[in-house]
Homo-oligomer: A and B are copies of this chain.
Amino acid sequence: MKAVIVKKPGGPEQLEIVEMPTPKPKKGELLIKVQTAAINRTDIVTREGKAGYALNPILGVEIAGTVVETNGNETFSIGDRVMGLVNGGGYAEYAVMPADRAMKIPDSLSFEEATGIPEVFLTAYQTLYWIGKLQEQETVLIHAGASGVGTAAIQLAKKLSNAKVIVTAGSKRKLDFCREIGADVLINYKEQSFEEEVLKATNGHGADLILDFIGADYWEKNLASIKKEGRWVLIGILGGSEVEKMNLFSLMSKCVQITGTLLTPRSDEYKALLTKEFMETVAPYIERKEIMPVIDEAFPLDMVQKAHQYMEDNRNIGKIILKIN
């Protein structure tokens, strides 16, 4: 089968389509004929050789496709349309997926749309609720509001918790989109000082919760934007991973909680539990089209280098998809 590997750690030019053996499902796994795979930031980190935990030579953690081998599992049948996270191996014609992580695709969604659900919605759900403990009507600051996780988080925070949603993004086009899907306060970080705007929008108190995809560049400003005893979830490092001179005393005097998280390196059991709770809670909203995946563009497999470059250029609103079969 065709599959995408990394020749050596580096830029998009290191991605190569090669012939690899079709994987064999182990106990508890399904074999999926992959229709579409999503491009994720974690794929870029892996491509650059910066992820310590990549065990599969084939890139890709998120797919949609059809079941071609159930391997004895009784929940799924051959031909079922499923979406879900895989432990690498997603950029390929076939992939194996733990059955307890597979989600049946609602009839209303295409494969392309379905590929926009697992990583961003599970991450947003995990970040907002399991880690961020978002409560009804709290204020949440979501950076990179027009990103995949950003668009998922805006919708979840609004629909599930009626939160006050403050977003940052770098263009009017992106901010307009954030408003369409539910954001209340829109901040163009290129034109406005976001920490001042957050304080203005919260009577000087700051946000109860920050979803931070940016990291180092926003460190001080996030610290200024967060409420006393606020929660700050670090889920991305688009603005660099290295904070020069971090002052710990300010974390203490503001009693701030920072949690670093990634979904990919979590255990299979964790992902299965998260998938189950997510489907129970959110699938009804998706079926009613009150919550929808946001897809930016779909590239054919042989344009995988371009698809990575497109993500790194940071121009997308929502998910970037690879069409495989």
Contact = CB atoms under 8 A, between A and B. Distances in A.
Interface string A244-256: 1111111111111
B257 A257 contact: yes
A314 to B, nearest CB: 18
Interface string A119-140: 0000000000001000000000
A250 B53 CA distance: 12
A50 interface: yes
A261 B229 CA distance: 9
Nearest to A228: B265
Interface in A228-264: 228, 234-237, 241-262
B247 A244 contact: no
A249 B50 CA distance: 9
Q: How large is the interface on A (under 10, 10 to 19, 20 to 34, 35 or more residues)?
A: 35 or more
Copies in the complex: 2
Contact of A248 (B215, B247, B251, B257): B215
A248 B241 contact: yes
B256 A260 contact: yes
Contact of A235 (B244, B245, B252, B265): B252
A257 B258 contact: yes
Nearest to A243: B246
A253 B265 CA distance: 7
A50 B250 CA distance: 10
Interface string A96-124: 00000000000000000000000000000
Given A256-B259, A257-B259, A258-B259, A242 B246 contact: yes
A300 B50 CA distance: 58
B260 A251 contact: yes
Given A241-B249, A246-B242, A248-B234, A260 B265 contact: no
Interface in A49-89: 50-53
Given A215-B248, A252-B260, 19 more contacts: A51-B253, A131-B257, A216-B248, A235-B252, A236-B252, A241-B248, A242-B247, A243-B243, A244-B244, A244-B245, A248-B260, A251-B258, A253-B260, A253-B262, A253-B265, A255-B260, A257-B258, A257-B259, A258-B258
